[in-house]
Amino acid sequence: MQLVVCNKCGAKNRVDPAGAAGRIARCGKCGAPLELESSAAENTPVIVQDDTFARDVLNARGTVLMDCWAPWCGPCRIVGPIMEQLAAESNGRYRIAKLNVDDNPRTAEQFQIQSIPTMLIFKDGKLVDRLIGALPKPAIAARLLAHAG
């Protein structure tokens, strides 16, 4: 089963992707068509670049946690597996994204990333929270879930 949030009313719906194949899944509350994503895509972090940032984060419905990192950063390598775990556990409640600040300086500068790892939490395209440093998974999850409601 996959948890899908209705884009029209915000209701959470459980959908069996195999059973919905070839049919239109509809929201149980308002009847609007539901947008089903592939389970592989929602269970792994989305790699964000300067040119895809607006599409993948700002235009995304719901909550997105974007990990701003660099491959040479030791604390970032500690946080990386936590991002993978959170993505695998998301069940459609939120999305995890990763932005390599070395390769994407425009977005890093836009959000004044001066220390990494920095994690930005967006809700319906608006920045709502910022976490700085290699925090433990329970601390990251608590802040994320506070916004994913």
Q: Catalytic positions, please?
A: 73, 76
Omega before residue 117 within 30° of 0, cis: yes
* Residue 10 to residue 137: CA distance in whole angstroms: 27
Q: From edge to edge, which strands make up the β-sheet containing 94-100? A: 46-48, 94-100, 63-69, 118-123, 126-132
* Residue 46 to residue 42: CA distance in whole angstroms: 8
Q: Which two tokens stand for residue 71?
A: 């491959």
